[in-house]
Structure 1
Amino acid sequence: MVDETIEEAKAVLRIDAHAARAALSQSERAEAAASVAQLFFETLAPRTEDVVAAYWGIRDELDCQPILVRLMDANIKVVLPAVLDDEEPLDMRLWEQGTALYEAGFGTLAPSALAPRAEPDVILIPLLGFDRVGTRLGYGGGYYDRTLVSLNKKPKLIGLAFAVQELPLIPREPHDVPLDAVITEAGVRHFGAVA
């Protein structure tokens, strides 16, 4: 059952978080993306045997491409999510060096439907907002919530964001899985046991 009060509060927070993110200049975005990539590899770098789920950014999300390039250069397996249906988990498709990307829902890109699938050990997750206890505010579609409960293992959840996306407090519902960490241009914040 959906708590309408919480949903209304989240809707207001989404508007505020999106406005803060949208107000950043192109140079601020590029500098932040480079800083976040550097911090990721300095503090939370995946192991060579890990599978990392990343994303192909949409709208004004923090650009994940600097991380994607370095992961591919290091021969670390990368999966990109594709939207199959409004009520389905994301389809985690392995992106192999040199393979094309295709429209995968909501303006994002992913490998073709024929690509192999893999369960991630680490998920780099886009967001609209986050708070001091690791609650993530997404777009409200529930895609990552459904995906996380469908996995056979618990991956590390690392939010990628701009510092201006931090909110004082996001109401957390039972299905909201907290982040283990968030990386912004201002640094890395740990919320759980991230090894």
Structure 2
Amino acid sequence: MAKNNGSEGRYASPPCMAGEIAPDYFDPLGVDPEQACDVARWRRAERVRLRAERQALSVEVRGAVGTALSGHLRDLLADQFGDMRERVFSAYWPIKGEPDLRPLMADLHGRGARVALPLVEVKQSPLVFRRWTPETHMVRGDWNIPVPPPQAEVVTPEVMLAPLVGWDRDGYRLGYGGGYFDRTLAHLSPRPFVIGIGLQAAQLATIYPQPHDSRLDAIITEDGVQVMQMPGQGEEPQERK
């Protein structure tokens, strides 16, 4: 971060408030403060850019992307888990131009999977997962997103989808900046198998991962599936079209 010449301690750009880094899980002693501020500012700008590009897609393109993603996700679930019957599968309700996977949610429910949706019950706390079925009467939750009602069963996911605003080949995710995803993964035990869902065009060279960022197990775009290699398993992710 550049400083003004002749003005010790003052910055050429506005001071970073690290707005997307929640204080309850961000350790300011764990990373260089100026670097963290630069990363936070860059991420904020990339979110605006990538969301605008996603919103500009036509309805037809979004539909084709959703169909392709659903097909790749079915294949990955079959490869990794076989029969999803009785497994808890956490999806998410599409917002802000995200691919619509609700037909796949209904199909998995019909095949015996226990489908759930994440929601915020307490601010700055891990997400809670409530059971969903096609007959569930939805209510408005945080950010006005439809969620299952309070009386719905609370479950712990074995497989969890994560919406991607951006992503990189190392398996790191650029989300919406609230910190809920990483906070939830740090809380869940055992950790679910986490699949990022996003657009191929949203790939970045890196998201500049910070200590609080959690690595995904796989990433799916309309172009195919990328399964991450965990430490000790090799260097390169495995790609399947």
TM-score range, shorter chain: over 0.9
Cα distance between partner residues in 1 of 2:105 and 2:72: 14
The percent identity for this pair of structures is 35
Using the TM superposition, give the Cα deviation of residue 72 of structure 1 relative to its aligned residue in structure 2, in angstroms.
1.2
SS of structure 1 residue aligned to 2:129 = strand
SS of structure 2 residue aligned to 1:118 = coil
| Structure-2 residue corresponding to 1:95 | 132
| Structure-2 residue corresponding to 1:37 | 70
1:45-56 superposed matches below 5 A: 45=78, 46=81, 47-56=84-93
The AA in structure 2 aligned to 1:14 is R
Q: Say whether 1:155 aligns with 2:188.
A: no
Cα distance between partner residues in 2 of 1:161 and 1:75: 26
SS of structure 2 residue aligned to 1:178 = coil
Cα distance between partner residues in 1 of 2:112 and 2:99: 23
Structure 1: gaps spanning 5 or more residues: none
Q: Match for 1:122 among 122, 141, 159?
A: 159
Cα distance between partner residues in 1 of 2:147 and 2:156: 15
RMSD: 1.7
Higher relative contact order (CA 8 A, sep 6+): 1
SS of structure 2 residue aligned to 1:62 = coil
The AA in structure 1 aligned to 2:218 is A
| Structure-1 residue corresponding to 2:37 | 4
Using the TM superposition, give the Cα deviation of residue 104 of structure 1 relative to its aligned residue in structure 2, in angstroms.
1.8
Structure 2: gaps spanning 5 or more residues: 1-27, 231-236
| Structure-1 residue corresponding to 2:221 | 184
Q: Match for 2:208 among 171, 175, 195?
A: 171
Contact 1:33 1:66 in 2 (8 A): no
Larger radius of gyration: 2
Cα distance between partner residues in 2 of 1:68 and 1:39: 14
Using the TM superposition, give the Cα deviation of residue 97 of structure 1 relative to its aligned residue in structure 2, in angstroms.
4.8
Using the TM superposition, give the Cα deviation of residue 43 of structure 1 relative to its aligned residue in structure 2, in angstroms.
2.4
SS of structure 1 residue aligned to 2:115 = strand
Q: How high is the TM-score relative to the length of structure 2?
A: 0.76
SS of structure 1 residue aligned to 2:177 = coil
Contact 2:90 2:116 in 1 (8 A): yes
CA deviations on 1:26-78 (whole Å, 9 max, x unpaired) are 11100110111111112223532321110011111111212212111112001
| Structure-1 residue corresponding to 2:54 | 21
Cα distance between partner residues in 2 of 1:105 and 1:123: 19
The AA in structure 2 aligned to 1:133 is D
Q: Say whether 1:143 aligns with 2:176.
A: no
Cα distance between partner residues in 2 of 1:192 and 1:93: 30
| Structure-1 residue corresponding to 2:116 | 79
CA deviations on 1:66-108 (whole Å, 9 max, x unpaired) are 2212111112001101112331111111114522111121232
Cα distance between partner residues in 1 of 2:190 and 2:66: 28
| Structure-2 residue corresponding to 1:111 | 148
How many residue pairs are counted as aligned between the two chains?
194
Cα distance between partner residues in 2 of 1:74 and 1:44: 13
